Amino acid sequence: MANVILDSYSAVVSLIMLFYLVGGKRKKDRLRRGFILMCAINVLMIIGDLSNWLCEGFSHSWFPVALRSGVLLFWVCTSLLLLAFTNYLIEYLAPKIRIHRYFWRVALVLAGMHIVGCVLSLWNGMFFTITTENCYQRGPFFWLSQFIPFLIYVLDAAIFIVYRKSLLRKDFMILTSYIVLPLLTEIIQMSHYGIALLNTGVSLSLLIIFINIQSERELRMERQEKELTEARIDIMLSQIKPHFLYNTLTVIRRQCDIDPKQAKKTLENFTLFLRANMDSLSSKTPIPFEQELKHTKSYLAIEQQRQQDRLHVLYEIGVLAFSIPPLTVQPIVENAVRHGALCREDGGTVLLRTEETDSAYLITVQDDGLGIGPDPTESGNCSHIGIVNVRRRLAILCRGTLEIESTPGVGTTAVITIPKEERRL
């Protein structure tokens, strides 16, 4: 009866964490999904273990089927849970350092071997057997069934050791608890059959991780979302200045008298420009680059109508199939126009180029203006505040970067780097 109470309590704890994370409105990123998966597998493992304590020894009705199914579920989930933790650990370290694929592949092979052995045990009894009296017994290769998960524990410990410098001391201790507590409880359970401590140890470890890492990360993501919203508003307001609106409308009014068709085209570009700025307020995730490019072209078309021969634009679009935070390229292009090309008396040229490398997508914005100094972010004007906001949103949404090099009298080059999404699993 004590084992049923322990398992039930562990299941309730895991379900509370599971429902909290699944029911949240926030986007479920890879790390969040990984923790949800761990909680779900733990619940299934507990359900399988409960069948052992509730059905063992009863040979009538459906009890034998329930016992065999429950035992198999428990054993399979044991290896799946360790595999899910390895995945969680890799995802946790991924933003800081690239984890060698060897660790995941070895964990996958070991888990696969364990699952195959569990399934075969239903027929050959190598890991466990169910007697005719509907009682669970350990098989001749029970030691192997425990040794394989132990190797996965060792593998996770190796990840900690190899990449310990990428972990905060607090997080290192918390994540290590998932190895120490389940391992200790499993050793006790192996030595004293009849004591259900493994599920309790796993649930306690998940609770420790949830309280100290996952919940803190949830709060940090909320702060980041607030910062991103403020940054989007700042950039939008910095772009839609009264003088820009006035000058654009003045151009459209003048074109209505001398070239109505061109006025219609300029008005269309102006509408697309305003719509893209408004849409960015509700966008919390990266958008296709093609969409950002369309917005940028709308802005450049308006400026070309205003400046005529003083502004030339070149496009060298080598790649389109990637995503980028909204209002990222257009503010950089706007800086290149206002503080670069148009600073020359006879105007200048702005170049927009995209290219792909093995690890990233590069977006280059180049002008042949007078230069803006070695560190443009030191200035307090709104255009340079926009650069700071772009950098912040790039870092938060896609781990991207923005580098600016400027040479007085020669021009300025801004390079946005968007790392490719690695498939680590």
Which two three-digit tokens encode residue 236?
């939008």
| C-alpha–C-alpha distance, residues 48 and 72, integer Å | 7
Confidence of residue 68 (pLDDT cuts 50, 70, 90): confident
Q: How far apart are the first and last CA of the chain?
A: 41
Confidence of residue 335 (pLDDT cuts 50, 70, 90): confident
HSE-up (13 A, CA, CB side) for residue 62:
4
Residues 397-419 have pLDDT tens digits of 788 899 999 888 888 999 999 99
Of residues 280 and 64, which shows the higher confidence score? 64
Give me the domains of the chain, ranges plus CATH numbers: 2-221 (1.20.1070.10), 240-419 (3.30.565.10)
SS3 416: strand
Residues 370-406 have pLDDT tens digits of 876 555 554 444 455 568 778 877 887 788 899 999 8
Of residues 252 and 110, which shows the higher confidence score? 110
The whole-chain average pLDDT of the chain stands at 79
What letter represents residue 258's amino acid?
A: I
**Counting Cβ atoms within 10 Å, is residue 51 exposed (0-12), middle (13-18) or buried (19+)?**
buried
β-bridge partners, 311: 348
Concatenated DSSP letters of 366-414: EE-SS---S-GGGS-SHHHHHHHHHHHHHHHHH--EEEEEEETTTEEEE
Residues 145-174 have pLDDT tens digits of 888 988 988 898 888 888 878 777 777 777
Element spanning 359, H or E: none
| C-alpha–C-alpha distance, residues 257 and 392, integer Å | 44
Q: What does the pLDDT read at residue 354?
A: 95
Of residues 330 and 95, which shows the higher confidence score? 330
Q: What does the pLDDT read at residue 279?
A: 62
| C-alpha–C-alpha distance, residues 387 and 402, integer Å | 8
Q: What does the pLDDT read at residue 355?
A: 94
Q: Which residue has the tokens 């503010």?
A: 331
